[in-house]
Structure 1
């Protein structure tokens, strides 16, 4: 594989011009996504007299969990639609339009349009997000380190948007009017769409057409006919489900819905893995690696259940129990949501160097050990929050440093676990089941999001005395899982993964 641009290719700083198109598209999309997300729970629990929805914490955090889980689940059909029906370029365009429609629907000061706006954002994100990332890879058919550098630049755009979104939308939403924050998110997505359309030519033919499922034209025609029918049936089902809720014919209770959705996702995920193990005609080595993947899937679900307290429980803790004054200025609680993206921008290059440095000295931790480190750092973060909670119980407000330190620890945990997770799935999966197991990875991520919402609902604004105990329980479980995984990491690597298959944090 070459590390240089193909002869005659138009580049910017050695990279395809299309990378800048996708960089700014994703930057604006993430600005809108994280900007709205920073406001979501705060808006739902805010009193109606201040323009909020006046929901209780359990309901609001359950809705948050359902929303974030749905975003991951819709990425699966979103990728399929692009691959088999309309291509990645059009998927990104239509997805962005639906996202913008969702944000502007949220901006309407009506309780009736709120859930419709969330549905639009979920569907649009499922179309845009996976296909923008896939399209980056298509810009580098030669592979090599230039492709890796291109993805690094692309992820800088993601985190730049994630950093700016809460600052802009959070300030407008909390300081001026909730719905101004949602408008800002929609405007951000529109800016992304405008630049995408104006620079679309830079993508060339990449992602223009869907990939045929069959070489035979007649079979392909029948496949497309069935696929389009399935797509429109799916759209009709969504319309009916939403319509039943708005008509009052069916009442969707968020907490039970989140609980039962989590149970269904867990059973589906484990059921598929068991079917694959016993009836997937796997070799002995493939079965061992599938067992290792199952362990990693379950651990990462627990990881995201703790990590995603950021947008729910930690957001409420910042609003209610944190002293938000710095040098005499009272900043919005939602600004804490920018910290993770900023820390990733600052720390990711260091971690990339650090793992390589350890690898050269034969000290690079194994994949299970990195997952264990991720869980331990998550747990330590909750121990910090337990200390902050004791300050609140004593009748004082916690200083911003408590949340800042927690986000730092959780970001370190993310950098230990998340980069290696998708790579582990691609490396350990049997080739003929690779796509379905990648979908299973996202399925367990969605499970983690649902758990995060349900866990956040355990905290009560009316019983702050319980906060230290709940934080301690989460910390004990997280650290306990991490320690157990660390103790068995060598066994998992040697017996299940294989000593010859190390998966590093740079995806190789």
Structure 2
């Protein structure tokens, strides 16, 4: 978007009106996704002979499908980002993604197995087109010199995500558990249709945002238009691709798992394209892309732990938690709204604490916040360790353990997730913005798959071992990130400097930034 178009936007409460259109669109999209997620594993494990029959799957099989599904939902953001960067632009990609999501959730309402798998496939494609591109459009609403306002815009946007998640887990969860699973899936589809209508109505407030970016560099400076073919034009991308393929083949034939072998082979293309994007940059861009890729490891660890919520913790709430509140039985799916409700309560508080912390001259970079978020989120699992001990001794654990766990998960998420979204829009080259956001969500997807693997292993290792292991690992990992923070920050070349100011973090990089 041109600078004049950005500065002349109509505003509401100090932010472009387009932010609130994207807020409402994402709110309804998350209503549909998290509503469906709240009842997915419960539907899979529900007895086939009950009043509200499910599929009667074993816990580990249900969590395995959940892991694969949530991984593909986010990994699809890579092709979704590439399509936006090279063909449609972000705005049109979001519209296409919304149509696919409406279709997917609607198909899930049909009580047939073909409809179940078809619906999941359509949702995977829809989220892949919508999710990375709508987040990138939020960053595009703000000029480059308004970093603080951009951060606050992402906090507002993030509250929209969680408002949708909070409402959906309660409404869709209640309808799914008490009226019928497929009625719940259908209600999620209605929510997505409302989001699509909102986005269509708000196009006039998004003029110039999310358009296809024209690469004005000389042809000699550009990468090949065919990104897959470009993998084989550079030694480093070929090496990265071959290493991943060999690892996949080893997992397939030596490890005996064809599914994970194929997954790693498929990721070889993502790794190759990622290196192609890295090669396409100048010196400063390469450093910023590199630190962004390194931050993805933090994302994988964070979501690999956090996303126990929809799988292992969801089943634990249903099968091992005392859900009685007097004569009322609390639906297990309602606990999926606790995190979102806490976010609505604590988002501004956590943001204010970080402002206070920064004003005192303390470390407040995005990478530091993400590391602290991993540690705090990990500590939440200590409460689940206590819950599992209570279950072993009493036959059921109290609901408050889940509430305390979700509280710590929420505070950790508020430190890490919205900051990570803003961090990427600050560091990524504009011509690769949607791809980089797609890669972020792909890392989130891999974290979801890690979560599924951990959840599956609880069948053999036990919940106490899994919960305690996650808590200890996250603490150690977060401390290690903080220990190497200075060299990581140097790679950002001052991308997070304050508006109109200069600090020691940016000193020495002005010449490089203007290349």
After superposition, the C-alpha distances for 1:59-108 in whole angstroms (9 at most, x for unaligned) are: 21121112111122222222332343334443333222211111121111
Partner of 1:46: 46
2:446 paired with 1:447: yes
Question: CA RMSD, aligned part only?
Answer: 4.0
**Cα shift at 1:175:** 1.0
Partner of 1:313: 312
Q: How many residues align?
A: 465
2:164 paired with 1:172: no
Partner of 1:259: 260
**Cα shift at 1:351:** 1.7
| Gap regions ≥5 residues in structure 1 | 228-254
Partner of 2:375: 376
Q: Distance in 2 between matches of 1:66 and 1:96?
A: 22
Partner of 2:420: 421
Q: Distance in 2 between matches of 1:25 and 1:436?
A: 21
Structure-to-structure mapping, 1:453-468, within 5 angstroms: 453-460=452-459, 466-468=462-464
Q: 1:167 to 1:274 in 2, by over 3 A?
A: same
Instruction: Describe the SS at the equivalent of 1:28.
Output: helix
Instruction: Describe the SS at the equivalent of 2:103.
Output: helix
- Kept in 2, the 8 Å contact 1:493–1:499? The answer is no
- Kept in 1, the 8 Å contact 2:100–2:123? The answer is yes
After superposition, the C-alpha distances for 1:178-214 in whole angstroms (9 at most, x for unaligned) are: 111001001111122233334444434544x534457
**Cα shift at 1:307:** 0.6
User: TM-score, normalization: structure 2?
Assistant: 0.77
Deviates more, 1:106-115 or 1:12-21: 12-21
| Gap regions ≥5 residues in structure 2 | 228-255, 502-515
**Cα shift at 1:503:** 7.7
- Kept in 1, the 8 Å contact 2:75–2:443? The answer is no
Partner of 1:477: 473
**Cα shift at 1:499:** 10
2:193 paired with 1:190: yes
After superposition, the C-alpha distances for 1:311-362 in whole angstroms (9 at most, x for unaligned) are: 0000001111112222432121111111111111221211211112111212
- Kept in 2, the 8 Å contact 1:106–1:182? The answer is yes
Partner of 2:87: 85
2:327 paired with 1:328: yes
Structure-to-structure mapping, 1:65-464, within 5 angstroms: 65-140=67-142, 144=146, 147-204=150-207, 206-207=209-210, 210-212=212-214, 256=257, 259-260=260-261, 263-264=264-265, 295-365=294-364, 367-425=366-424, 439-460=438-459
- Kept in 1, the 8 Å contact 2:45–2:57? The answer is yes
Q: 1:457 to 1:184 in 2, by over 3 A?
A: same
Instruction: Describe the SS at the equivalent of 1:398.
Output: coil
After superposition, the C-alpha distances for 1:221-273 in whole angstroms (9 at most, x for unaligned) are: x97xx89xxxxxxxxxxxxxxxxxxxxxxxxxxx9566336644776677778
Q: Distance in 1 between matches of 2:355 and 2:257?
A: 46
- Kept in 1, the 8 Å contact 2:390–2:396? The answer is yes
Partner of 2:486: 494
User: TM-score, normalization: structure 1?
Assistant: 0.78
Partner of 1:18: 18
Q: Distance in 2 between matches of 1:506 and 1:332?
A: 46
Q: 1:73 to 1:506 in 2, by over 3 A?
A: farther
